[in-house]
């Protein structure tokens, strides 16, 4: 039959880098939990009216979504406070139901502006004096919490009035905010340059619809920050990383397992391995999800095993020669090849219905030509995140739609050269300018104080010459006594 929907006022997180992710995450989790959901219009600020199948369902969705702050029952909205009060006088039944003979308190929340405590009290008094509440104020244990929301907008001058004001009753605050604080990178024991912030990792897990006992793999796991989120949700985690130094860590007792120990999570399985060789996993249709952030030469250069050198080492080894290569030889890994390898891996290794969620590096000139594709995978979501003025990355969510029967991925038609982009980026150029400025200052100082300016190459030559001088006399000394000794031996 027909589902009676509950209309709720949803208050979202506003984080510049995650704006486009809020509705896809909501949709993905609602689908996953089987809660019918619909909304009209777009999410321009942080407020949106959303219809849910049930209040209980809505609470479960909110608790799982990283980017939802809370659920409210909207009592009135207007352009300013006086008209909002007029609007509320026309709907006394809300007050009868939730305030008569009950304890209540007020919260003031303004998007794009913060008020000192005394200004907040003034606003609250405006409402308590002009509306008949029929209950008593209690800050400690209220039955009803009323919120006055203002939508001012980002970076508005202080005298600009809000675009819209809302009056709502709190139904549920999301548990996910606590999870985000609990797992923040600031508290992590083991970090690397590209550790994924907790919110992003949980959003990835939500796009993949992770649940307890799911099998999850991260093929470029690094410090395994994505798997920490998966572990919190009860998944069985596998990590693959080409650089054993990242897994082992530099400091005694701090390694890729440290964060799992810190949060009391089940230890994942880690493999020192390589996506390009793809033979590390044999059983097809195994994983429920693949979550990964492939390296793309901006902060972490992408590497794969150098096959030729590897073959030679294996051959020498078979012939009985000892190899002293401590680290398996690697070479650069092109973005297009890496994406094709990743999609081929997903096409084979995901169970039907399983999801692949990964970040695609791109620029402000992005087009769909940069997307790889695979006959067994369907692209569900493609969401952009700004990084710098020119650089972007997109979170792609694919679902495996059918069993793999030998099909292969199609490479993207075009891949931007991320490394050169990085070298042209404003951040890098300003850093370069700083370095040049410093060099010029050093040069000037040396000239003013008559200090000779020696180039790096000259310094190196001098150093080498010195080293040879140190080692040569020793050889002469060792050789001389040997000549004396010989005649005695005869």
For residue 92, what is the domain's CATH number? Answer: 3.30.2130
Q: Which of 88, 48, 89 is nearest to 70 (CA)?
A: 48
123 in a domain, yes or no? yes
CB 216 within 8 Å of CB 239: no
Among residues 373, 400, 427, the one where a domain terminates is 400
Q: How far is it, in rounded angstroms, from Cα 371 to Cα 424?
A: 23
Q: Do residue 60 and residue 188 come from a single domain?
A: no
Say how many C-beta atoms besides its own lie within 10 A of residue 68's C-beta: 25
Q: Are residues 132 and 78 in the same domain?
A: yes
Q: 415 in a domain, yes or no?
A: no
Domain final residue pick, 113, 144, 178 = 178
Residue from 10, 5, 8 nearest 54 by CA? 5
CB atoms within 10 A of CB 156: 13
Q: How far is CA 128 from CA 121, 148, 204, in A?
A: 10, 12, 43
- Cα dihedral 418, 419, 424, 430, rounded to 10, equals 120
- My answer on whether 92 and 190 are in the same domain is no
Structural domain count of the chain: 2
Same domain, 206 and 352: yes
309 vs 325: CA distance, rounded Å: 10
Q: How far apart, in whole angstroms, are the C-alpha atoms of residue 15 and residue 46?
A: 10
Tell if the pTM clears 0.85, that is, is over it: no
In this structure, are 52 and 71 located in the same domain? yes
Question: Looking at the chain, how many residues does it have?
Answer: 490
Looking at the domain assignment, is residue 474 inside a domain?
A: no
Please give the Cα distance from 44 to 188 (Å, whole number): 33
DSSP single-letter state for residue 255: S
Specify if 278 maps to a domain. yes
Please, how many CA atoms are within 13 Å of residue 223, restricted to the half-sphere of its CB? 21
Range list of H helices, 99-166: 117-130
| pLDDT for 332 | 66
The runs of H, that is alpha helices, within 238-377 are: 244-248, 258-262, 307-318, 335-349
Question: Do 207 and 118 have their domain in common?
Answer: no
Q: Are residues 208 and 348 in the same domain?
A: yes
Domain membership flag for residue 302: yes
Q: Are residues 56 and 131 in the same domain?
A: yes
Do 144 and 243 lie in a common domain?
no
Note whether 152 and 230 are same-domain residues: no
- Clarify whether residues 254 and 361 are in a common domain: yes
Distance CA 272, CA 131 (A): 66
Where does a domain end: 381, 400, 419? Answer: 400
pLDDT computed for residue 303 by the predictor: 65
- The answer to whether residue 311 is domain-embedded is yes
Cβ(286)–Cβ(349) below 8 Å: yes
> By the 8 A CB rule, do 345 and 275 touch?
yes
pLDDT of the chain, 490 residues: tens digit per residue: 566 899 999 999 998 889 999 999 999 999 999 999 999 988 888 999 999 999 999 999 999 999 999 999 999 999 999 999 999 988 778 888 888 888 999 999 999 888 999 999 999 999 988 888 888 888 889 999 999 999 998 888 888 999 999 999 999 999 999 999 999 999 999 988 888 999 999 999 999 999 999 999 999 999 999 999 999 999 999 999 888 888 888 888 899 999 999 999 999 999 888 776 655 677 889 899 999 998 875 444 566 666 666 676 666 666 665 555 555 666 667 788 889 989 999 999 999 999 999 999 888 888 999 999 999 999 999 999 988 777 889 999 999 999 999 899 998 888 877 666 666 666 677 778 888 899 899 889 988 988 888 888 888 888 888 888 877 655 555 444 444 444 444 4
Between CA 201 and CA 195 the distance in angstroms is: 10
Classified as helix, coil or strand, 148 is: strand
Give the span between the Cα atoms of 447 and 30, in whole angstroms.
Answer: 69
* Domain hosting residue 263, numbered range: 184-400
The answer to whether residue 460 is domain-embedded is no
6, β-bridge pairs: 52
Measured between alpha carbons, how far is 52 from 33 in angstroms, rounded to an integer? 12
For residue 444, being part of any structural domain is answered with: no
Residue with tokens 């999609």: 343
CB atoms within 10 A of CB 370: 20
Angle at which helix 198-207 crosses helix 225-232, to 10 degrees, equals 60
Under DSSP, the state recorded for 213 is T
Which residue carries 């092109």 as its tokens? 334
- Could you give the count of Cα atoms lying within 13 Å of 476 in the half-sphere of its Cβ? 6
How many angstroms separate the CA atoms of 255 and 274, rounded? Answer: 19
Closest CA to 336 of 344, 348, 325, 324: 344
| Co-location of 304 and 288 in the same domain | yes
Q: Judge contact between 361 and 296, C-beta under 8 A.
A: yes
CA distance 102 to 293: 51
Rounded distance between C-alpha atoms, residue 371 and residue 362, angstroms: 10
- Provide the CA 407 distance to its chain's centre, in angstroms: 31
**CATH number of the domain that residue 387 is part of:** 3.40.50.150
pLDDT at 109: 93
Here the tokens at position 421 are 């982009």
The pLDDT, as a whole number, for residue 419 is 66
């Amino acid at each position: 039959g027909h589902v009676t929907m509950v209309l709720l006022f949803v208050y979202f997180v506003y984080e510049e880098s995650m704006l486009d992710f809020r509705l896809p995450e909501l949709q993905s989790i609602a689908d996953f939990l089987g809660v019918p959901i619909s909304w009209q219009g777009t999410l321009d600020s942080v407020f949106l009216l959303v219809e849910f199948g049930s209040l209980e369902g809505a609470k479960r969705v909110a608790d799982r979504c990283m980017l939802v702050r809370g659920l409210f029952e909207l009592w009135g909205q207007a352009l300013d406070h006086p008209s909002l009060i007029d609007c509320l006088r026309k709907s006394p039944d809300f007050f009868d139901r939730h305030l008569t003979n009950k304890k209540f308190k007020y919260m003031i929340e303004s998007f794009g502006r913060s008020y000192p405590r005394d200004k907040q009290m003034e606003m609250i008094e405006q409402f308590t004096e002009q509306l008949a509440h029929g209950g008593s104020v209690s800050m400690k244990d209220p039955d009803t919490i009323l919120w006055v929301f203002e939508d001012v907008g980002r970076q508005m001058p202080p005298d600009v009035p809000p675009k819209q004001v809302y009056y709502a009753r709190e139904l549920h605050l999301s548990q996910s905010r606590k999870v985000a604080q609990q797992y923040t990178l600031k508290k992590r024991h083991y970090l690397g340059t590209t550790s994924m912030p907790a919110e992003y990792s949980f959003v990835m897990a939500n796009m993949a619809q992770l649940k307890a006992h799911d099998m999850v793999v991260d093929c470029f796991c690094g410090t395994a920050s994505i798997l920490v989120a998966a572990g919190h949700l009860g998944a069985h985690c596998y990590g693959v990383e080409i650089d054993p130094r990242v897994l082992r860590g530099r400091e005694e007792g701090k390694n890729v397992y440290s964060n799992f120990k810190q949060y009391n999570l089940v230890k994942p399985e880690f493999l020192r391995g390589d996506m390009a060789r793809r033979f590390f996993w044999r059983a097809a249709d195994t994983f429920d999800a693949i979550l990964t952030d492939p390296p793309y030469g901006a902060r972490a250069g992408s590497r794969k095993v150098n096959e030729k050198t590897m073959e030679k080492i294996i051959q020498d080894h078979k012939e009985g020669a000892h190899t002293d290569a401590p680290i398996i030889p690697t070479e650069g890994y092109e973005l297009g090849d890496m994406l094709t390898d990743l999609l081929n891996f997903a096409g084979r290794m995901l169970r039907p219905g399983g999801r692949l969620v990964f970040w695609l590096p791109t620029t402000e000139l992005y087009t769909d030509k940069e997307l790889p594709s695979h006959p067994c995978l369907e692209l569900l979501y493609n969401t952009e995140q700004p990084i710098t003025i020119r650089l972007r990355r997109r979170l792609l969510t694919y679902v495996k739609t059918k069993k793999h029967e030998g099909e292969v991925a199609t490479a993207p038609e075009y891949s931007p050269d991320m490394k050169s982009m990085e070298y042209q980026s404003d951040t890098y150029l300003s850093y370069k300018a700083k370095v040049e400025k410093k060099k010029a200052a050093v040069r000037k100082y040396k000239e003013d104080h008559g200090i000779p300016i020696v180039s790096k190459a000259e310094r190196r030559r001098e150093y080498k010459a010195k080293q040879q001088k140190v080692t040569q006399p020793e050889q002469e000394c060792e050789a001389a006594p040997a000549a004396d000794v010989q005649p005695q031996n005869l």
